[in-house]
A and B are shown apart, each in its own frame.
Chain A
């Protein structure tokens, strides 16, 4: 089977998507992805010369905007209601650069 992505590529993809991938999971994920990408091969073989892309299925959708008028906002409590960790009305996260506190 064609290898579209190597294990190294898959590691990089996982890192970008911020999903932890163990060494045990890597081979299976690599195989799965390669199989799926291979199944997408027909798309690369179509003659699409001169065909405009359609990014939005509702054909004549355009210029949708709203007036600059205030709507309803959450209270601070509502905004934080699902926060895994919070402090002083803010969402609390550990060190962005590493070396922080849990």
Chain B
């Protein structure tokens, strides 16, 4: 198989996402008063309604409807007047009524969009980017300094209910194929679920990954869900097809399901692009099938089709009233909108002079955004950029390495972060020493000043002392000086290293560098 980069020279990938998000922050289910609780004993949170007993009737959860309107407002959707619930019929054991109560052609939220910032390495997946100058636009993309922005349309967000959970027994690894029987638990049945469908505007796996990340950020900021892909409160299915670059006709799409991480989404789509290209280039046809990504085998596999019928016999649910949400209702929800990540990032740029790139990284996570703001309450304005770097590099690395690390309760307080960054900024210690202090704060739960004191760290920034060392080092290495002057400018690193060694690591590397350059050029 070709690489994705090669494939995308000739082929355009057309990707759409279907995202399901459980509204886990609510108390009760969508259509009944049963408690929402993850991990309870089976069938301990059920009632006639969510168990689908004969004679039971649904009554919608007002807070769930407020939540979906909130989600729609946060993603630039129109809140639709006059919508209804529909019945989507298919028989499957995790469906208590053997129909899902969902919505029809008009959902609560329609015609939204999100802008993605695609930076760095991931941006290179998109071929058009290479052809654009900064500020130039083409397709749905505008080139930026670090990459590009792309607008992704959201077709709709609709309200529905989740199904129960099944455990398959007797097959391998609890898989459904080969299972001899299954156990059904309806605790999850009836959980309020919102489904967001994007326009097929995504063109690269990285864009898809970033879209999910952004959506997750927003939903976490809204406080409507835990958004955990591991626990299944956030789920994504991808649709992907290829077409020859320059054509507009849609190709046949395959559906990618059972994705349990953003990385899997990316890798699964990347694989599909290559697989589909190989099939098409050999003259084959793509079948409209459902596939799942196998991360260990690193390929997609055709799934068994769960239910043969595409025709769900949908019709408006007669047991549920239609919805004509008033302006008062919608405005009351709008008043609950918190500052969204994009707005916060824009504010960081405005107030603290950070770059867009740095700000966006800070707001990726509420914990880091909050931490930054706490720092800036007392910090000098000029420390904004170094603080952002500390958070985006060192703290981010910590958080990635340890999923359980809780910044807010750690020994790295905003006051300590500010103090540390300040020490480095005024050259009291070197940035290398700063990293040592950072680690020490976490291990020893002490203030930076105390650590520096204890370890006798300081940075020698006395130009006289530095000059003396520089002269010594240059005198000791005349041949390398010759080579440097002959063009091997990379040797500066060698000289800096020798000086640092002579100064036992306490020399201010910036000044050493400066002094060396001066002496070598001169």
Q: Do chains A and B touch in the complex (CB under 8 A)?
A: yes
Q: Given A65-B65, A71-B33, A100-B181, check contact A76 B321 (CB 8 Å).
A: no
Interface of B: prevailing SS: loop
Is the Cβ of B93 less than 8 Å from the Cβ of A71?
Answer: no
Residues of B within 8 A of A92 (CB): 181-184
Is the Cβ of A80 less than 8 Å from the Cβ of B28?
Answer: no
Q: Given A93-B93, A100-B180, A100-B181, check contact A70 B43 (CB 8 Å).
A: no
A1-9, A21-29, A40-48, A82-90 - interface stretch: A82-90
Partner among A79, A89, A95 whose Cβ is within 8 Å of the Cβ of B179: A95
Is the Cβ of A73 less than 8 Å from the Cβ of B46?
Answer: yes
Q: Could you say which interface size class chain B belongs to? A: 35 or more
Contact with A along B397-408 (1 / 0, CB 8 A): 000000000000
Q: In this assembly, does A64 line the interface, its C-beta being within 8 Å of a C-beta of chain B?
A: yes
Residues of B within 8 A of A72 (CB): 33, 47
**A64→B281 CA distance, assembly (Å):** 55
Closest chain B residue, CB of each to CB of A87: B183
Is the Cβ of A68 less than 8 Å from the Cβ of B323?
Answer: no
Is the Cβ of A63 less than 8 Å from the Cβ of B323?
Answer: yes
Residues of A within 8 A of B179 (CB): 95-97, 100
Residues of B within 8 A of A18 (CB): 91
Q: Given A90-B167, A95-B179, check contact A56 B318 (CB 8 Å).
A: yes
Q: Could you say which interface size class chain A belongs to? A: 35 or more
Q: In this assembly, does B84 line the interface, its C-beta being within 8 Å of a C-beta of chain A?
A: yes
Q: Given A74-B46, A92-B183, check contact A63 B41 (CB 8 Å).
A: no
Q: In this assembly, does B324 line the interface, its C-beta being within 8 Å of a C-beta of chain A?
A: yes
**A66→B64 CA distance, assembly (Å):** 10
Residues of B within 8 A of A99 (CB): 178, 180
Residues of A within 8 A of B34 (CB): 70-71, 73
**A17→B473 CA distance, assembly (Å):** 88
Is the Cβ of B47 less than 8 Å from the Cβ of A71?
Answer: yes
Contacts A66-B59, A91-B43 known; 15 new A-B pairs at CB < 8 A: A62-B321, A63-B323, A63-B329, A66-B61, A67-B63, A71-B28, A71-B47, A75-B44, A76-B42, A91-B93, A93-B182, A96-B176, A97-B176, A97-B178, A97-B179
